[in-house]
Amino acid sequence: MVAKTDRGRIRESNQDAYFVGEMPDGMAFAVVCDGMGGAAGGNIASSLAVQVISSKINASYHPNMRDSSICNMLESALSAANVEVYDLAQEKAPLFAAARRLSPTPGTAEPISSLPTACSR
């Protein structure tokens, strides 16, 4: 799996963050978070979110998980990241004036379109 992000034509910096991982059973995943360019703390929020989500996936995933368990794991990881980013924003309010959007993207050997609908919110 290959990953790349781009700042685009308007922004001076790229605040996106991502992580690509592979589990021992060969299951691959990617987490991509948009830093909402323009906000001073966008890069901090997106990096923190990627780190939290990736850590939760690495700690919780096990081979042969059912689709519903994977969805629950991803929802839990996303919730944990939201809490971490929110708490940091409360501590450093001037850096986090804009909203953040967290978008975990699970990957399997199958095309993303075959993932359970509940996971694609």
Residue 46 pLDDT > 60: yes
Residue 45 pLDDT > 70: yes
Kindly state the average pLDDT of the residues 24-43: 78
What value, to the nearest 5°, has the Cα angle with vertex 107 and ends 43 and 112?
Answer: 110
Distances (CA, A) of 19 to 10, 15, 54, 95: 24, 14, 7, 23
Strand ranges inside the chain, DSSP E: 17-22, 28-34, 101-106
**Contact between 107 and 30 (Cβ < 8 Å):** yes
pLDDT in tens, 60-118: 999 989 989 999 999 999 999 988 988 888 887 776 654 444 444 444 433 333 333 34
Strand order in the sheet with 17-22: 17-22, 28-34, 101-106
Element (H, E) at 69: helix 67-91
What is the pTM for the complete model shown? Answer: 0.74
